[in-house]
Amino acid sequence: MSSLLSQILRKIEPVDRNVIELARKRQDLLTKPRGSLGKLEGVSIRVAGIRRCITSTFDNKAIVVMAGDHGVVVEGVSAYPQEVTRQMVYPFLNGCAAVNVFARHIGARVAVVDMGVIGGFESNPLLECKSIADGTSNMAKGAAMTRKQATDSIEAGIAVIESQIAKGLDIVGTGEMGIGNTTAASAICAAVTGRSVAEVVGRGTGIDDIQLKHKIEVINQALEVNQPDGNDAIDILSKVGGFEIGGLTGVILGAAAGNIPVVIDGFISGAAALLAVKLSPQVKDYLIASHLSEERGHRVMLEYMGLIPLLDLDMRLGEGTGAALGISLVEASVKILKEMKTFEEAGVSDKDTEG
C-alpha cells in the first residue's frame, strides 16, 4: 500500500461518542415528542459525532462528480454508446445538468473531475483533470486496471477532497458519470458481499431483458476471469472497477480523515463506499445514504454496510442528484438540533409530550 493512502487510513478516527451522547440528550429535550422527527433525529446526532460538535453549520457544501470510461462497454452491456460519457461532462461544466440544478437548490458547489474519460478535455477552470488512462480495460477479458492504477485513482480522489477541504468544506456528496459503470459496480457488489451477480445486477441505462441476461453473463465472466479477492479492496477495484469509482473511494476516505460527513448517491457511489469501508471499517460511521436507487444491488450494498437511506424516490440517474437532495435533509436535521429550543429554553412544560 502506498504511503499516501496509508497516511490517510491512519488519520481516520472513530466518530466522537461523547458528542453523540450530548447531541442525543439535547435532541430528546427539544420541544417535541421524542422521536417525532424520525430518521432526521438520528442523522443530526450522527453528524454531531462526525463533526465533533453539536451545533454544526453547513456554510460550505460540495458535490464531487467524477467521470470515467469503461472498457467493458464493448461487450454490449449499456443502452448508450461510450462517447456519451464525454458528452455528458459538458452539461456538468455548463451548469445545466440535473445535479447542477439540485446543487444550486441547496447552495452547493459542483466539482467535476476527469478520472479517465476517453479523449480527455481541453483545459477548463471548472474541470479538474486526474485522468489515470483513457478508460479502463475490458474486465471481461482481464483486469480493468493495474494495481498501481487502482491505488493512483484512490489517491487522486484523496487529492481532490483535500483541495475541497482547503477551500472550506462542511459536508460532501458523491456523484459520477461513466457509461458501463453499473456493470463495474455490480461486479464490485458481488465480490464484496458474496451475493450472486443475478441478485445485484440491474438495468443501468435502461437495457431490455435480453441485454440484462447478457450483462449478467459478462459480469460472471469478469469475476471468473479475474478472481478478485473479496478481502482486498484494491484487488477488487483493479480487477473489476472503474477509475471514477476508485476516485470516489478516495473522496470518501479523505473526507472521513477530515471529519467531513459524506452523503453518498446511488449504486456507483455505493460501490465506492463498499471499497472505502473495506479499507477502513470505521468509515461507515461517516456515511449517510441519501436514497435507495432503483438498481437492485443498491439495497444489497446498503444492507451490507448497515446504512438506511433517507429517501426512496425511484431514482437511478446518478450524477450526485440523490446526494444533493440528501444533503438538504441532513442540513435540515442539523438546523433542528441547533436552532430549535429545548422545553426549558422555551419555558414550555415537557409533560405529556408523547401524546
pLDDT tens by residue, 195-254: 999 999 988 878 899 999 999 999 999 999 999 999 999 999 999 999 999 999 999 999
195 in the same domain as 169: yes
Share of the chain above pLDDT 90, in %: 94
Is 35 domain-assigned? Answer: yes
* The length of the chain, given as a count of residues: 355
Alpha carbons 276 and 325: distance in angstroms, whole number = 22
195 in the same domain as 224: yes
Alpha carbons 347 and 342: distance in angstroms, whole number = 8
177 in the same domain as 46: no
Is 259 domain-assigned? Answer: yes
Nearest-10 crossing angle of helices 17-29, 321-339? 70
In the chain, how many domains are there?
A: 2
Question: Tens of pLDDT along 49-93?
Answer: 999 999 889 999 999 999 999 999 999 999 999 999 999 999 999
Please give the backbone phi and psi of residue 198, each rounded to the nearest 5 degrees, phi first.
Answer: -60, -30
Q: Considering the candidates 294, 319, 345, 354, report the single residue annotated as catalytic.
A: 319
Active site residue 128: no
For residue 145, pLDDT beyond 70: yes
What cell numbers appear for 150 in the block?
A: 487502482
For residue 264, pLDDT beyond 80: yes
Residue 345 and residue 311 in contact, taking contact as beta carbons nearer than 8 Å: no
173 in the same domain as 252: yes
CATH code where residue 23 lies? 1.10.1610.10
Residue 179 and residue 205 in contact, taking contact as beta carbons nearer than 8 Å: yes
CA-CA-CA-CA dihedral for 44, 45, 51, 53, to nearest 10:
100
Residue 23 and residue 44 in contact, taking contact as beta carbons nearer than 8 Å: yes
149 in the same domain as 51: no
Is 353 domain-assigned? Answer: no
pLDDT at 58: 95
84 in the same domain as 43: no
Distances (CA, A) of 299 to 90, 127, 173: 31, 32, 19
For residue 355, pLDDT beyond 60: no
48 in the same domain as 104: no
* 30: containing domain: 3-55+338-346
For residue 354, pLDDT beyond 60: no
Residue 66 and residue 115 in contact, taking contact as beta carbons nearer than 8 Å: yes
| CA-angle at 310, arms to 307 and 314, nearest 5° | 105
